[in-house]
Amino acid sequence: MGKCYFVSDLHLLANRSAAHQYLEQLSRTAQHAEVFVLGGDIFDFPWSGMPIQRAVARAVNWLLQLTASCPQCQFHLVLGNHDYHQVFIDRLVRLERQVPNLSWHRYYVRLGNSVFLHGDVANRRMDARGLAEARDRWLDKRRRGPFLSRLYDVVVLTRLHKPVAHLVFTKRTVVRRVLNYLESVGQGHGDGVRDVYFGHTHRRLSNYRYRGLQFHNGGAPIKGMKFRIVEARR
């Protein structure tokens, strides 16, 4: 069986993203992969600083270039909250029909004994209905104004976001909430799931065991945070 990889939270289009430092590595990895899962918030429409139509066009162009450069690799795009926008979803519906090695998924994708999801269910305890309701509020999210964007840049520059992420998203709290959601959609340990790959929290996590499952998170290429491309099991 060919290799499978997972990344999330690139936040492409946002100023605070340092993903450009890893895009060449991502492309090289995909050229030797059979499956590559893009696990949500790959793009950041609210913080892009540009009209949604232009931002979506850039996102689509990036996906087209990536999939065309690695025709042997099957890409799965799982949406996160920051790239969950109706304009983008409408474009993905058409794009999936045009690009044979690209599939998109609203909430998660199951591949063998592994489940891949974004992880915004870690914000609070929620089931499938709760996630759907939370995501609906992002469908037409407007871009953030320049003042808020500059303020966020200062937070990232001073690395104030790092201790906040560690305080809010403790490992046990996160995996418990993720598992609660997965069990609500029939993707728990009793359903044959062994490994869970997720993002959103921007905190790296590797082989964290909880209630019979192993949880993995590659972090995020945001200043002050650690990031890696995760080789996944299926």
Domain count, the chain: 1
Going by pLDDT thresholds of 50, 70 and 90, the confidence category of residue 170 is: confident
Distance of CA 214 to the CA centre of its chain: 18
Q: What is the pLDDT of residues 196-212, one digit of tens each?
A: 999 999 999 999 999 99
Tokens of 33: 């992969």
Q: What is the pTM of this model?
A: 0.90
Tokens of 61: 């162009």
Q: What is the pLDDT of residues 5-30, one digit of tens each?
A: 999 999 999 988 999 999 999 999 99
Report the chain's mean pLDDT, rounded to a whole number.
90
DSSP 12: B
Asked if residues 75 and 64 have their Cβ atoms less than 8 Å apart, the reply is no
Contact partners, residue 65, CB within 8 Å, separation at least 6? none
pLDDT of 167 above 70? no
The CATH number for 49's domain is: 3.60.21
Tokens of 169: 């998203």
Q: What is the pLDDT of residues 55-79, one digit of tens each?
A: 999 999 999 999 999 999 999 999 9
- CA gap 31, 29 in Å, rounded: 5
- CA gap 215, 206 in Å, rounded: 7
Half-sphere exposure (Cβ direction) of 129: Cα atoms closer than 13 Å: 0
Query: Rounded to a whole number, what is the largest CA-CA distance in the chain?
Result: 49
Which residue did the predictor score with more confidence, 144 or 208? Answer: 208
Domain that holds residue 29: 4-232
Whole-number pLDDT of residue 168: 60
- CA gap 204, 31 in Å, rounded: 24
| Helix residue ranges, H only, the chain | 23-30, 52-69, 86-98, 128-136, 146-157, 161-168, 171-184
